[in-house]
Structure 1
Amino acid sequence: MTKQSNNIPLGIMLMIATTLVFAVQDGLSRHLAGQYNVLMVVMIRYWFFAAFVITIAKRHAGGIRAAAQTQQPLIQITRGLLLAFEICVMIAAFTILGLVESHAVFTSYPLLVAALSGPVLGESVGWRRWAAIAVGFIGVMIILQPGGQVFDLRALIPLLAAAMFAIYGLLTRYAGRRDSTATSFFWTGTVGAVAMTLLGVWFWEPMSGQDWIWMGLLCVTGVSGHWLLIRCYEVAEASAVQPFAYLQLAFVSIIGISFFGETVSANVAIGCAIIVAAGLFTFWRERLKS
C-alpha cells in the first residue's frame, strides 16, 4: 500500500497549477472542436498521452509491467473511462455553450468532491471547510442564476461532465491509497487511448498544418494537467484542495474573453470572486493550523 501524505500547502499549489493548465487546454479544445469532430480531437490527444505514459514507464525500474501492476484494476479502468468520456462531454459543451458558460456550470464539481470526500473516502471535513464549501456554493448559484438563460437543457451537458469529473477525482484519491502516481497515470493514459481509438477512428478527417501545431500544444497540456491532478490528490486531502479548483473559472474566463470574444456578465464576475475568496479563506485557515 502506498503511504499518502497530507501536505496541504503543496496540494494547493499543485491544484492552482492544474487549473491554469486545464484552462489553456480548454481554450485549445474549443478551437479544435469547432473545426473537427470531438471524438477525433480527443482520440489524437490520447494517442500522445498513451505514448508519453508508456515512455515514462519504460524508463523506470520494472518497466511497463511495474507501472501497470495494480491490485485494483477495476477502479483504474473505471477512472480511465470516466475521464475520457468526461473530456468528450465537456469539449462538446464548449462548442455549444462556450467556455465561460460551460465552466460556470462545471464549477459545481469541486463542491461534489469536497462534500463526498468524507462519506466516500473517510476524510475529515471540519466545519470551517464546510463553511468554505457553502460559501463557494453561494457563488455558484450567483453565477448560474437558477431560472436564467444558462439553466436550459444545454446546461445539462457540462453538469454531466461535472458529475463524471467529481467521481473521477474521488476514485483517483481512492486508487492512490494502494497505487503510485505512476501507476494511476499509466492506467489513465492507456485505458483512455484504447477507448477513444475504438470510437474516434470512425470520425477521422484531415487537419491543416497550423491546427496540428494547436493539437500538439493540446497534447502537452493534457498530459501535464492530468499528471498534476493525480499528484495533487496523492499529496493532500481532496476536500482541502478542492476550493482552489474554482480558479479554473477565472482562467477560462480570461481565455474566453481574450481569444473567443465571449463576455462575462456581472453575476459571473461576482460569483467567481466569492468562490475564490472561499478558497483563499481555506488556505488561510490551513496556514494558521500549521
Structure 2
Amino acid sequence: MTPLSDNMRGAALMMGSMAAFTFNDACMKALSDTVPFFQALFLRGLATTALLLIIAQRFGALTWRFPTRDRRRIAIRTLAEIGAAYFFITALFNAPIANVTAIIQAIPLSVTLAGALFLGERVGWRRWAAIGIGFAGVMLIVRPGTEGFTLYSVYALIAVGFVTLRDLVTRGLSPNVPSFSVAISAAVGVTVFAGLGAATGPWVALDIKTTAQLAGAAVFVIGGYLFSVMAMRVGQVAVVAPFRYTALVWALVLGAAVFGEWPSGLTLLGAGVVAATGVYTLRRESRLARRAGPVPLRPR
C-alpha cells in the first residue's frame, strides 16, 4: 500500500477537523430545545477546559511564562473568543446550521481585509476582487431586507468580526507562546462568561440524551482543535487550508438529516461563491508568501 504524502495526510486531518467542529455545532444545536443557552455553554466549557488541561499536562505543553505583551494579547484574544462564542452559538441555536456555517466561511476573506486595513499588509487587486465577490456571496446568504433575513444572520456576521479580531491578535503572539496555553485561556474565559450568565438564568436537569450531547460537543470540539493544528503542521498551507470548506458539506448533511433543514438555492449559491473566493484567496496568499521567501525573525 502506497503511503500517504504529507499533503494528503494534512488534507485528511483538515477534513477531520471540519467534521469534528460541525458535529460539535450539531450537538450544541440539538440542545437548544431543552437546555438553556448559558447552561449548555457553561457545561461544555467545563468539560472542554478539563480535557485540554489533561492533554496539555500529558504532553508537557503548558506554561504561563511569557512576556507581559503576550499576556495582554492573550487577554484581548480571550475577550474576542467570548464574543465569537456568544454570537455564533446564539445564531446556531436559532438559525439553520448550514446558513450559519456558510456565513462563518467568510472568515479567511475578513482576515485578509482586516490585515490590509489595520496591519498594513499588501493586498493586490486580485485579492481585493476576491474579497468583494466573497462578501457578495455572504449577502446572498444573509439577504438583508428579505423574509430570509433574521437577527441571527446579523449575529453570525458579528461572530465573523470577533473571530477576525481573534486571529489578528493571534498573529502578534510570540512564537514561544504554547498553543495549549492560548487555547486554555480562551476556554476558561468562555466558561467563566457562561457561568456568570448561567448563575442568573434558569437551569434544567439533564437526562441521558442531553448529557450525551454535551459530552459529544466537548469531545468533538477538542478533536477539531487538535486535528486542525496537526493538519497545518503536516502539509502545505495552500493545499491543506482549502479543505476547511468541507464544513459546508457536513453542515448541509447534518442540517437535512438531523434537523430537517435545507437551505434555499440562493443560500447554496452564496455558500459556493464564498468557498470559491476563499480558496482563491488562500492559494494566492500562499503563492505570494513563497515568492517573498522566509521572513526574518524580529528581535524581541
- TM-score of the two chains, using structure 2 as the length reference: 0.76
Identity over the aligned pairs, expressed in percent? Answer: 25
Task: Using the TM superposition, give the Cα deviation of residue 268 of structure 1 relative to its aligned residue in structure 2, in angstroms.
Answer: 1.5
Contact kept? 1:99, 1:252, Cα under 8 Å: yes
Equivalent residue letter for 1:219: A
Q: Which runs of 5+ in 1 are unaligned?
A: 1-6
Contact kept? 2:108, 2:282, Cα under 8 Å: no
Could you give the per-residue CA deviations for residues 105-130 of structure 1, whole angstroms, max 9, x where no partner exists? Answer: 44443322121123445555444444
Task: Using the TM superposition, give the Cα deviation of residue 196 of structure 1 relative to its aligned residue in structure 2, in angstroms.
Answer: 2.6
| Structure-2 separation of matches of 1:122 and 1:237 | 25
Equivalent residue letter for 1:276: A
> Match for residue 157 of structure 1?
155
> Match for residue 297 of structure 2?
none
1:69 aligns with 2:83: no
Task: Using the TM superposition, give the Cα deviation of residue 200 of structure 1 relative to its aligned residue in structure 2, in angstroms.
Answer: 2.5
| Structure-2 separation of matches of 1:133 and 1:34 | 36
- Structure number having the greater helix percentage: 1
Task: Using the TM superposition, give the Cα deviation of residue 211 of structure 1 relative to its aligned residue in structure 2, in angstroms.
Answer: 1.6
Task: Identify which range, 21-30 or 69-78, moves more after superposition.
Answer: 69-78
1:100 aligns with 2:98: yes
Task: Using the TM superposition, give the Cα deviation of residue 247 of structure 1 relative to its aligned residue in structure 2, in angstroms.
Answer: 4.2
Could you give the per-residue CA deviations for residues 192-241 of structure 1, whole angstroms, max 9, x where no partner exists? Answer: 33333333244432111122111111001122223455667889999998
| Structure-2 separation of matches of 1:173 and 1:284 | 19
Q: Residues 241 and 74 (structure 1 numbering): CA distance in 2 closer, same or farther, change over 3 Å?
A: farther
Q: Residues 256 and 122 (structure 1 numbering): CA distance in 2 closer, same or farther, change over 3 Å?
A: same
| Structure-2 separation of matches of 1:34 and 1:254 | 20
> Match for residue 268 of structure 1?
267
> Match for residue 278 of structure 1?
277
Contact kept? 1:107, 1:246, Cα under 8 Å: yes
Contact kept? 1:247, 1:276, Cα under 8 Å: no
Contact kept? 2:105, 2:275, Cα under 8 Å: no
Contact kept? 2:27, 2:217, Cα under 8 Å: yes
For the residue of structure 1 that corresponds to 2:172, the secondary structure is helix
Q: Which runs of 5+ in 2 are unaligned?
A: 1-5, 292-300
Equivalent residue letter for 1:144: V
| Structure-1 separation of matches of 2:135 and 2:50 | 39
Equivalent residue letter for 2:111: V
Equivalent residue letter for 1:56: I
Task: Using the TM superposition, give the Cα deviation of residue 51 of structure 1 relative to its aligned residue in structure 2, in angstroms.
Answer: 0.9
Equivalent runs, 1:1-290 vs 2, <5 Å: 16-61=15-60, 64=62, 67-71=63-67, 72-121=70-119, 123-175=121-173, 177-202=175-200, 203-228=202-227, 245-282=244-281, 286=286
| Structure-2 separation of matches of 1:146 and 1:41 | 30
Q: Residues 196 and 154 (structure 1 numbering): CA distance in 2 closer, same or farther, change over 3 Å?
A: closer
CA RMSD in angstroms comes to: 3.7
Q: Residues 279 and 89 (structure 1 numbering): CA distance in 2 closer, same or farther, change over 3 Å?
A: closer
Q: Residues 149 and 19 (structure 1 numbering): CA distance in 2 closer, same or farther, change over 3 Å?
A: farther
Q: Residues 112 and 280 (structure 1 numbering): CA distance in 2 closer, same or farther, change over 3 Å?
A: closer
| Structure-2 separation of matches of 1:243 and 1:114 | 15
Could you give the per-residue CA deviations for residues 72-105 of structure 1, whole angstroms, max 9, x where no partner exists? Answer: 2222122223223422322222232222333344
Contact kept? 2:90, 2:152, Cα under 8 Å: no
- TM-score of the two chains, using structure 1 as the length reference: 0.79
Q: Residues 168 and 283 (structure 1 numbering): CA distance in 2 closer, same or farther, change over 3 Å?
A: closer
Could you give the per-residue CA deviations for residues 233-282 of structure 1, whole angstroms, max 9, x where no partner exists? Answer: 88999999876655433331221111101122111122222233334445
Q: Residues 275 and 158 (structure 1 numbering): CA distance in 2 closer, same or farther, change over 3 Å?
A: closer
| Structure-2 separation of matches of 1:79 and 1:14 | 25
